[in-house]
Every structure is written in C-alpha cells, then in structure tokens.
Chain A
C-alpha cells in the first residue's frame, strides 16, 4: 500500500465571494522512501495541493489518505518546510527551534536537545546552535527548517519551494545536501517546485501539473535521459500528449 494516497481530490478556494477550483480530480500515490517532485506553472495549484496534504485545507471532493487514514488536520507526521525564511520562531535559539518540534511530541528535554544537536550537525550548523534566527542568512535559516523537518521524524516531509528565495549558488548547494540527507535516511519527501531543473534533480518521480484548474498532465520517472526536454514540452507546449499517454510512455521508456 502506498504511504500517501491522493484520490480524485478537487480543491476549491474562495476569491472574494467566488469559488475557484484550484485542483480538479487529481490522483497519485507517494511510495515510502521516494522523493516525489510536483511541478507546474504558477497557478497550477501545486502549493494548494501540498497544503491539503499538510491538512491546512480540505478537498471539496475526493480523499487524501496517509497510511489509509484520511488527513484531518496539520500534524508533525507531515512536517512542512516553507519557502518563507521567517518560519523559525524568532524568540527561540536555533537549537531550541529544532528541539521544540520534538518536545511537542513528548520527547524528554535532554533527548530533544541531543537530537536537535545531531540534526544541526547534519546540516552543518553546529556552530550556530545558540544563535537566534535573525542572526542567520536565508540559506542557514532554510537549513535549520530542514533540520527541524527531519528531526521530527515525519512519515512524509512536505517541501513548498524551500529554495526559491535563495541565490543560485546556495540553492544548488542546498539541493545537493537535501538529496544526500533524504537518501541517507530514506525519508519520504513531496517536493513542490516551479523550477524544471530543480524538479528533475530532486524527484525520483516527477508529477507534472497543468494549470487552471490543476490536473495531472503526466507522471515521469526521475533521473532518465531526456527528462528535462520532456518536462519542458509538457509544461510549455499545450499540444503535448494527454495525461494517460505520457504516463504509459514514461513507463515504457523505463522498461
């Protein structure tokens, strides 16, 4: 059974008094241990979809299941890393920010601090442990958020364009580090991106969404020759083959 199942999910949001459909009957599975990249042009509802998995919004139709149980509310089994640099509590030190996610789950203080220190070491921030978030650069803040996400030991880690606000060099470096950690610990990740190269690099599978409303256009296997070109064609060329076709041909290519 898949770890996370999105079944025929449609999501609406209110724009003024008008109901707008952001996501239209989207279905996909997330397998344990994979990094699924969600990509699409802006307005395709990929962040909305991630928020629904996070439990912040409810689908108006369909279901989203984690281990076969419908998602009802946000929780630390689905830790989120946001794009916003200001996602750490400014009044807590770096160490306390990470440890807090564990304390909230009932881990003893000494253990929580030890695990926080271990995860901060993994992201290379041992020397910054006692500092406050405002003393850190954007890249360092995102590293702390990643450490917090992993430290809470979620079933699936949700990432909403976590590197989009970073400069190009830092972005590449953090992508490598994240891939490394994800593979080392086998953490399941859903990674939202609007950057084709980033999605191709991060995803063991890539889900391409089409906009207005968001629908699955194709599911592609990651790390394949010609992946970037295929994604470009799917995202920018409206006459590209429909969902079902690409899905199969992607699988054929793999076989």
Chain B
C-alpha cells in the first residue's frame, strides 16, 4: 500500500474514532461530534460578515505575513552585520543565545506597554518570534559555506556582492529555508496565543480570537472548527516550504 493511502486510512480511522467517541460520551458542550464540527466549519466558511471564518483567517494571515516578512528582514540585517563584523558576530551570538530560548509570548506585556492594545502589538510579537530562529539558521548557513566553492567563485573573478548573491546565498540556502520554516511556525504559534488576549480586550482579531469568542458564546463546534482552521493554515505553509525545498535544495542534492 502506498504511504498516501496508508496515511489517509489512519486519518479516516481517527475521524471515525472521534465521531463514535463523541456520540458515546454525549457531552456536546465539551466534545462535539466530528459531523457537527464539520457542519459548523462549512457554515462558517459560507457565512458573511462577522460570522465568516474567512474574515478571521484573513486577519491572521495578514498579521502573520507582515510580521514574518518584517522579522525576516531584521534577521537578514543582523546576519549581514554578524558575518561582516566581529562586533556584529558577538552581538548576534549574545542576542540569539539569550532570546532564542525565550518564548515570544513572554514579552507580550512589553509589547502592550510600548504599542498598547492594538494591531501593532500583534505585529511586533509575530516579527519578534520570527527574528531569532531565522537569524540563527542564516548565520550558521553562511558560516558553513564550503570553502572550496567560495574559492571557485573567486577563481571565476567574483567578489563582494556578486560572490554573496551567486555563491554564498545559494550555498547557504538549505539553512536559510530551514530557518524561515522554523521562524514561520514560531511566529504562527505566538501570534495565535496573543490574538486570544488582544481579541478579548478589543472584541476583534484573527483565528485566536475566533476560538476564544466561540467558546464564550458556547458555540463549541465553532471552537473545534477554529482549531482545525489553524491546523490547516499550518499544514498549508509546511507544504509550501516542502514544495520549495523539493524544487531547489533537494533537487540539487544539498539536502538529503
């Protein structure tokens, strides 16, 4: 049996277990059935205005993308400084050493102090959660470029920016992609958590708020539907990164 079929069967078995288990315990306010959840999700997809889950998906996606982009840019600047100067290198290793293990949610109170209860706080957390995993991996990637390939680049007459763009970045691409992937999932996790808090104060927000608000309204199937939507977004991006890797570094044998 091919792995795809096998996985689909396992998934189907899991959903069946959920459906039967939920019917058996019969506590719809704690564990709605899968069919109720699917129905709620379907309705939320088709609904308009505030009831439409797509509005919340859009909100989360917008913050996530902007934060991720901003964080990646900051990480790129930090990496460039770290690679070209000794002070930058020490600074990056100190900062990442301290901040990388710190959950981004932990600095949320600081974000509230600086930016207030607003979209800016969400953006800040999403960017902050991106910076360190990305900077760490990029720096690592540039430091482990095969010296022979760098020498080949020099041999062909390249230097400076051209060498960086045409040799060093492609060489570091496996590490850069891995870092972006980590940064993205880190950012997503932190964002959903802070959306729950900000949403509770402002009454608006993304998927994190959708889950919390549904729970407050006792729309329990919607709570589960929201969680599923969060999962799907995560899986979609995981898939995107895998696709990019398959088209580039895997195809080139740089990743096994």
| Stretch from B96-104, B215-223, B246-254 that touches the partner | B246-254
Interface presence of A139 (CB below 8 A): no
Task: Provide 7 A-B residue pairs closer than 8 Å at the C-beta atoms, listed in order of the A residue.
Answer: A56-B154, A80-B155, A86-B148, A89-B149, A105-B157, A135-B253, A152-B156
A38 to B189, CA, bound (A): 60
**Ranked 8 nearest A-B pairs via Cβ:** A134-B253, A84-B148, A74-B154, A90-B252, A104-B156, A91-B252, A74-B155, A87-B148
A113 to B156, CA, bound (A): 17
Instruction: Specify which chain B residues have a CB less than 8 angstroms from the CB of A75 in the assembled complex.
Output: 155, 157
Cross-interface CB contact of B156 among A86, A101, A133, A135, cutoff 8 Å: A101
Interface presence of A54 (CB below 8 A): yes
Q: Hey, what's the 0/1 contact readout for A37-78 against B, CB within 8 Å counting as 1?
A: 000000000000000001010000000000000000111101
Q: Hey, what's the 0/1 contact readout for B234-256 against A, CB within 8 Å counting as 1?
A: 00000000000000100111100
Instruction: Specify which chain A residues have a CB less than 8 angstroms from the CB of B173 in the assembled complex.
Output: 91
Q: Which residue of B lies closest to A82 (CB)?
A: B148
Q: Which residue of B lies closest to A101 (CB)?
A: B156
Interface presence of A191 (CB below 8 A): no
Cross-interface CB contact of B252 among A84, A100, A101, A132, cutoff 8 Å: A132
Q: Hey, what's the 0/1 contact readout for B37-48 against A, CB within 8 Å counting as 1?
A: 000000000000
Cross-interface CB contact of A74 among B151, B252, B253, cutoff 8 Å: B151
Interface presence of B25 (CB below 8 A): no
Instruction: Specify which chain B residues have a CB less than 8 angstroms from the CB of A86 in the assembled complex.
Output: 146, 148-149
- Of A56, A89, A133, A152, chain B has the most CB atoms within 10 Å of the CB of A89
A136 to B254, CA, bound (A): 14
B149 near A87 with CB under 8 A, answer yes
